Structure formats: structure tokens, C-alpha cells
Amino acid sequence: MRLIGVDTPESVDPRRPVEFFGKEASAFTRRLVDGERVRLRTDRYGRTLAYVHLADGTFLNAEIIQQGYGHAYTRFPFKYLDEFRQFQREARQAGRGLWGAAPEAERRVASAAPSPASSGLPAALARWDDNRNGRITCAEARRHGIAPVPRGHPAYRYMRDGDGDGVVCE
């Protein structure tokens, strides 16, 4: 099942590495729904896309974005698109969840000494620099599943935030 309008960092796909804040987002969602009765609403085409409402009235899709554990997925229109965009802006401005400071392990990776590899990036980040130019492009970030990239992410400092809003590759 997919949550309509929500894009959380990858944490379970065996073909891909766990993305920045993926474990935290997964644990947050699990804490909210574990042992709870939920009401699912599928989209108008009957696909396994859902709006999830908890018994206490919490709208799970919105709560994940409001608390910063996921992004508003805006590629396709949906009923709550404008609200989710606003929730994401508010979470980002407040520094909640993935918009806040990076976990200690991520800060260590970001501050690691540069690798002798030709890209000039720290070894832990060079895997995202496909063209080995010492920068990470949005195309590379999307290809590796790390886009959009918030300010706390270790790749952020090797990218260009043209509008200065703290997020690259929106």
C-alpha cells in the first residue's frame, strides 16, 4: 500500500540503500499505527493507494508530512495537494523531522575527510556523484533516490540550492 500524497525516504527496498531519515520515518509511522484500527480510503480508480485515518481522527498522510517524516508527493494531483504543500513548508521552516539537524551518524559522514577518489567528495558520498565532478546533480540525486535533499542531508553541501530554501531538487 502507498499513502496518497506522501513520499517517505526508502527503508525497505532490498535493491536500494536505506535513504537519509528512512529508518526514522518508518519507525514514526509504525508507532502511529501499531495496534490501531485504521480506516482506508482508496483512490477513485481502486488502486492500492490510500488515505489513512486512525481511530482517534489523525490523518496519517498529513501527520507524516507535518512532522517532517516525509515529503508532499506533488507529481500527480490529489485532493489534499495544497494542504500537503503547506504542511511541508511549515515542517521545513520549523526544522521538524528530516528538515532538522542531521542525526549524529549523518553529520559524521558529511564531515568526513575528502576521499582520494577523483571526484573530491568524501568516499561515503562519492557513490552519488556519477560523473565524478565533485558535485551531486539533481539527476544523480533522483537516480539514487535521495531527492529532494534537505539541508541536513550530507549530500546537500555538494549541491546548489538556487532558491536558498534549504531543499535541493524539489
pTM exceeding 0.75: no
Asked, as a colleague might, if the bond just before 148 is cis with ω within 30 of 0, I would say yes
Number of H helices, E strands in the chain: 6, 7
Tell me the domain boundaries of the chain: 2-99, 104-168
Pick the CATH number of 2-99 from 1.10.10.10, 2.60.40.10, 2.40.50.90, 3.30.360.10: 2.40.50.90
Distance CA 63, CA 163 (A): 26
Distance CA 140, CA 147 (A): 9
3-state SS class at 143? helix
Point out the catalytic residue in the list 16, 31, 47, 143.
Answer: 47
Answer yes or no: 2 catalytic. Answer: yes
Answer yes or no: 142 catalytic. Answer: no
Phi/psi-derived region of residue 84, left when phi > 0, alpha when psi is between -120 and 50, beta in every other case? alpha
Answer yes or no: 10 catalytic. Answer: yes
Q: Render each residue's pLDDT in the chain as its tens digit; 170 residues.
A: 789 899 888 887 777 777 888 888 889 988 998 888 877 776 677 777 888 988 888 999 999 999 999 989 888 889 999 999 999 989 988 888 888 755 444 433 333 333 334 455 676 677 777 777 777 888 888 877 888 888 888 888 778 877 778 888 88
